[in-house]
Chain A
Amino acid sequence: MSTYDLSEIERLIDGELPWTRVQEIMKDAKDADRFEKWVAILQKRVPWKEKILLPLTTALFIVRKGRQRIVKCRCGHEFGDYRVNWKLSALIHVRETEEQLREVYRGTEQPDPSWIQIREYICPGCGTQLEVEAVPRGCPPDFELLPDLDVFYREWLGRPLPDEVELEDKTLEAIRSWRTGGR
């Protein structure tokens, strides 16, 4: 089983390793402690103290805050319970006319706005473009990753998290509350 220095993993993450070395790492048996090093590196880089439970994207993390598990941006903006699609708490900008699409796609490269809209999900805290969807009207936003954190920590990593929670997609519950006036 391979193992790598924290500094080498850091250089790998930052794209600073020579391609030949990256290929060696890709071909070798994977390092069993990668997740711990990955989280340690990312934890060092964010300006907040909540413990990272799982990185979701280049900007978003599931973190422990008190007894809660929430989605948090690297800038510190919080999106709420990780079992609710974080997009419900994001800003959204939709391109659905030729003029709006033109800022990105022009002429022969432009999609047909009666077939597809471009949805940009923006962090209210830092303005990072977190995800982009190209979907027809009517498509609910993708809830890309709903991890089973308790199985992951308890059974795959062998160190259970305190306060286990039920794995359930709570997005529709949140939506239902909008119709009844809840936030």
Chain B
Amino acid sequence: MSPKAKATRRVKASAKAGARAGARRARAGNGRRRPSLREQLATNDRLLRETGHLFGLEKMRRKESDPGTYEAVWQILLNICNTAHAVGCRVSSSPIAAEGGDALWSLHLPTGEAICTSRGIVSHPGLLSLLLRSYIEAGYEDDPGIRPGDIFENNDPHFGGIHSADFQTTVPIFWQGRLIGWAGSVTHVMDAGFVLPGSIGFMNPDCFSDGVPVVAERVGENDRFHPWYEKRMRSRTRVPDWTMGDARGRLAGCLTIRDRVLALVEKYGLDFFEDVAREYIEDSRRYAVSRVRTQAVPGRIRKSGFKDLSMKGKRVLLPEQDVDCLFNLPLEITIDRKAKVGISLRGASGWVPFGENITPSALVSGMLNAYSHVVGFDMFNWGAVAAWKLEEPPAGSWANPYPANYFAASGVAWAPAVVWMSFLYEAFGRLYWARGFVEEVAAGAATTMTAEFSGTNQYGLYTAGLTLEQACNGGPARGIADGETSAWCIYTPNADFGNAEVSELYYPVLYLGRNVEPDSGGYGKFRGGLGHTAVWLVKNTPGIEYQCGCAGIRSKVCGNHGMFGAYPTWPDRAAYASGTNLKQLVEARRPLVHERGDPERPNIARDLEAKLVEPNLVAPFVTQGQLHEWDLIVHPVSGSQALGDPIERDPELVRRDLDDGWGRARTASEVYGVVARFDEKEKRWEVDVPATERKRAERREERKQRGVPFRDWWQQEREKVLARENMSPAVLEMWRSSMRLSPEYAAELRAFWQLPDDFTF
């Protein structure tokens, strides 16, 4: 019998046994009633509380008695999840999954905790874990019941989703009539049925515009989707073939996990599987705690952070959206004597009338993502979550909107959250630095700007979808070196912006450029990895819209602070031109636009003639109308943050960047204080080292001369704060809501500036 036939027989046998069990709860081997899932959850919570160990596992019996098999089975489970990823992405066929791998498959305990996950989007295991928990807490075990072959799905943030473009599918795994786990998957669909096309719903004003809802429901039985599920996707999403392709991809991957886990259980036995599954999760918790204890320092870390959403005067949907917003994203971390990490968002600003609000449970999952980058990445699963505690974000804030507005939109809930959670890089970077683990230090992360197209494609069909440019930012500067260029992504360890040539098959655009952007990684002793610029020529279409979307950008303000004296990365601005003379330039074989160019005279404005040129657009935005043949888009993708005083940068690194076209002459001189000249004969830059040393010494003296004692500045600045001088309405409203929602934060702010007790902005 072939392996496939064997697997099919196993599943059928299991399903039959499950059916025999019917509504009757399976019984334990000793005849006693097996605890319900809800009771098991309560027991798990109690054991963690009482023992400090997940599932009360003070001893790791399987790991200690047979570490070889323990590790081998972990590798098998990893392989199973990664196989599901490969299968699911291929079945899906949508560019996001097939080309970019923006998806995840995972294996869970019956009570929801993720055991093991595939490659892909590392924010999703937490989301799936909490979603399964919510099913149990809502009594799904009894009504509607959980049976072999069932398919449950959700994309509603009210019930465990993050934003409705991320569909969460779960399939129960039964062994001889007993639920032994779940297979889960999340994929990001190309179009979620938002009020505007695409999947980055920053413009959604409320949840009624957040797209097609799948509300924690059973969407299929016997391993097949219900026919009405497909009808819903076909009538309520714009590219249903891709949406259904994604659905089938998620299901195919989940069934792959289920079949292979059943084969594994058959080989190793159920007792062994159940033991090691729990030990892997506790192992992960222990790793995260141990990493903090051995590599960090107890105490308090604080980091302010801000993100803009400037929409005043732009194309919006409702009058109340004609407004500029600034998010307050404060991070406070406390580490106690037991290395338990507390995380607070005290001071977060209020919810916004856009799709940039997130729920606390989705935020937990986001933080698991960040944790997986910098703290708890060994045996990545639910375990790390038990190593820290997220304080309930202020009620009514962007991170907890429902107490104030149950209908708040979450079209791209990720946007402020990803900025906030990326602060973990710098926070833990400082701790690792203090302890001497310089190789683990990373400065702040990049910003995430997206590009979506909608309209008629080169095949004459309607299309809507997301490009993958944002999946290849520059990486953060490290404690001992520059960050990696175009090789890093906050939401996945597998940064991949896909092939330009493949993107050209999906969208009616041609790449005129995909270039590393000079100086885009901040300015520091070590610069961040550089971002890049995509330059698209609109081609073979009667018209498309371009959405320069926000999945965590900053466009009015700098992207983060610098670390240890570095200057932060600049704000990201996009550009486009319509009614251009590009056709004539091509025919005349004249130079085209391939890059951003000089920020004071961008190439799109310098080298093109066009009816409309927008060279410096604050993102996000949607084009006012459609773009047509020979129109041009210049889309920036940011680098990450730098580290250290820029005038301590090795002049040789500055010279190399100049030679590579990765740094500019002005910044080499004015920001890095390097005296260099271009040798026309040798076609390379040369640094005058003694002159550079003199210039840098002068720069230090200049700083001392123009710097003012903090106290003097504080007195002057206090007056400006009181007068609200040169503070945009967005800044004022941000402070008002932050102080209103977090009285303790307000009291500290007033105390710092010595403001009256009733002062507000």
Q: Which residues of A contact B (CB under 8 A)?
A: 9, 12-15, 19, 22, 25-26, 30, 32, 34-35, 37-39, 54-59, 87-94, 96, 103-116, 118, 120-122, 124, 126-140, 142-149, 151-152, 155-156, 167, 169, 171-172, 175-176, 178-179
Contact = CB atoms under 8 A, between A and B. Distances in A.
Contact of A112 (B556, B615, B735): B556
B753 interface: yes
B566 A132 contact: yes
Contact of B567 (A35, A37, A132): A132
Contacts of B720: 137
A120 B566 CA distance: 9
B752 A137 contact: no
A115 B557 contact: yes
Contacts, number: 271
A136 B731 contact: yes
Contacts of B218: none
B437 A30 contact: yes
Contacts of A13: 438, 480
B299 A148 contact: yes
B247 interface: no
Contact of B645 (A109, A129, A146): A129
B355 interface: no
Contacts of B298: 147-148, 151-152, 156
Nearest to A32: B294
A37 B523 CA distance: 30
A102 B528 CA distance: 21
Contacts of A138: 721, 727, 731, 735, 749, 753, 761
Max count, chain B CB within 10 A of own CB: residue among A9, A14, A96, A148: A148
A106 B600 contact: yes
B677 interface: no
B656 interface: no
Given A91-B710, A139-B304, A127 B570 contact: no
A167 B300 CA distance: 10
Contacts of A14: 480
Nearest to A130: B565
Interface of B: 293-295, 297-304, 306, 308, 326, 335-337, 430-431, 433-440, 480-481, 523, 525, 556-558, 560-568, 570-571, 573, 575, 596, 598-602, 615-616, 643-648, 670-671, 699-704, 706-711, 713-715, 717, 720-721, 725-728, 730-731, 734-735, 748-749, 751-754, 761
Contacts of B308: 115
B645 A58 contact: yes
Contacts of A128: 565, 645, 648, 700
A152 B297 contact: yes
A116 B558 contact: yes
Given A91-B707, A134-B560, A138-B731, A129 B646 contact: yes
8 contacts: A107-B600, A109-B599, A115-B308, A116-B556, A131-B564, A132-B561, A142-B561, A152-B298
Given A58-B525, A106-B600, A142 B302 contact: yes
B348 to A, nearest CB: 14
A88 B711 contact: yes
B728 A172 contact: no
Contacts of B430: 56-57, 144-145
Contacts of B753: 138, 140
Contacts of A144: 301-303, 430
Contacts of A30: 294-295, 437
A108 B615 contact: yes
Contacts of B558: 105, 111, 116, 118, 134
Contacts of B645: 58-59, 128-130
A51 B710 CA distance: 27
Nearest to B575: A108
Contacts of B730: 115
Given A59-B565, A106-B599, A88 B710 contact: yes
A115 B728 contact: yes
A59 B564 contact: yes
A154 to B, nearest CB: 9
A89 B556 CA distance: 30
A131 B557 contact: no
Given A94-B713, A179-B754, A34 B727 contact: no
Max count, chain B CB within 10 A of own CB: residue among A39, A92, A121: A92
Contacts of A92: 707-710, 713
B571 A151 contact: no
Contacts of A151: 298-299, 336-337
A89 to B, nearest CB: 7
A109 B520 CA distance: 10
